Amino acid sequence: MADAKKAKGPGQRPDLISIGGLVVALGGIITGLMMDGGSLKDVRQVSAALIVIGGTLGAVMITTPMSILLGAAKRFGGVFFEKTYTPAVVIDEIVAYATQARKQGIVSLEQQADAIKDPFMKKALNLAIDGVEMNQLRSIMELEISQLEHEGEAEAKVFEAAGGYSPTIGIIGAVLGLMQVMKNLANIDEVGRGIATAFVATVYGVALANIFLLPAGNKLKARIKEEVRIRELALEGILSVVEGLNPKLIRTKLEAYAPAHAGGQKKAKAKAEAAGKPAPAEG
């Protein structure tokens, strides 16, 4: 029987790699600026930020359907947070279900199915308990996986599209700044400062695209692939439970989705044998 921890379903934790990458990128740029004798005042310009952010957001809104735009906004947190519902957790959960199903029948899992927080796993197990044929069960759940993948990629492309618009909007901001500089050609000192200020918008546009928007799109694509992999694992596991396979065989089969977990299992087994203790058996 799955324990309470497994029944909680997907959780979230900070993605230190994403957060650290952003800090390193910004830190490197700012440090380089200061080493060249610059200061934060040189690139601190609210009007330039407004032009780049507002222009980029407007362009994305024009090109993206509302439903996809809202979906992309919901996925924004996925750049800095990752799910804790790993393949190892899913494998352990499915093996527990398989063990109980072999002893008491698959109908005995009805109570466990109601406690599952992951909608995909819950739906698949409920369909299995209801006696849906394996081919129909696979077809229904694979359609859900395909829809998730399609929607997720469309939402990730919103960030990629924004990364394409941002540098161009930055150039527009620079041109607008240069237009203001031209009004002060009589004062050469003002012209020099004005030109430097005008190019801040270009810096904002290029930096926003290459430090955040384009990497964010790629990170979300990776998140979607991982989510699809978890769902494929869950579906294959539930189908194996329906088929009545031995729990040990199911674990071996599903560990193809989580090679790191498989390595951990082997190490644990070897450690237990070295200590003169038998490895935990599965029914």
Asked if residue 273 belongs to a domain, the reply is: no
Tens of pLDDT, residue by residue over 150-197, are 999 999 999 999 999 999 999 999 898 888 777 776 666 667 667 777
Asked if residue 11 belongs to a domain, the reply is: no
Residue-level pLDDT at 270: 45
Split into its structural domains, the chain has a count of 1
Residue-level pLDDT at 273: 44
How large a percentage of the chain has pLDDT more than 90? 55
Is 102 exposed, middle or buried, given 0-12, 13-18 or 19+ CB atoms closer than 10 A?
middle
Give the pair of three-digit tokens for residue 128.
């299995």
Cβ-based neighbour number of residue 2 at 10 Å: 19
Q: State the residue range of the domain holding 88.
A: 46-262
Asked if residue 29 belongs to a domain, the reply is: no
Residue-level pLDDT at 1: 43
| SS3 at position 105 | coil
Asked if residue 16 belongs to a domain, the reply is: no
Position 260 pLDDT exceeds 70: no
How large a percentage of the chain has pLDDT more than 70? 84
Tens of pLDDT, residue by residue over 68-98, are 999 999 999 889 988 877 888 889 999 999 9
Residues 6 or more apart whose CB falls under 8 angstroms from that of 280 comprise: 272
Residue-level pLDDT at 262: 46
Position 52 pLDDT exceeds 60: yes
What confidence tier does 4 reach under pLDDT thresholds 50, 70, 90?
A: very low
Residue-level pLDDT at 144: 94
Statement: the pTM of the whole predicted model exceeds 0.85: no
C-alpha angle with apex 167: 165 to 168, nearest 5 degrees? 65
For the stretch 72-94, what's the b/e string if a residue is b when 16 or more beta carbons lie within 10 angstroms of its beta carbon? beebeebbbbbbebbbbbbbbbb
Residue-level pLDDT at 11: 73
What confidence tier does 42 reach under pLDDT thresholds 50, 70, 90?
A: confident
What confidence tier does 41 reach under pLDDT thresholds 50, 70, 90?
A: confident
Residue-level pLDDT at 83: 81
What confidence tier does 127 reach under pLDDT thresholds 50, 70, 90?
A: very high
Asked if residue 34 belongs to a domain, the reply is: no
Asked if residue 28 belongs to a domain, the reply is: no
Asked if residue 251 belongs to a domain, the reply is: yes
Asked if residue 96 belongs to a domain, the reply is: yes
Whole-angstrom CA distances from 52 to 45, 168, 210 are: 11, 9, 14
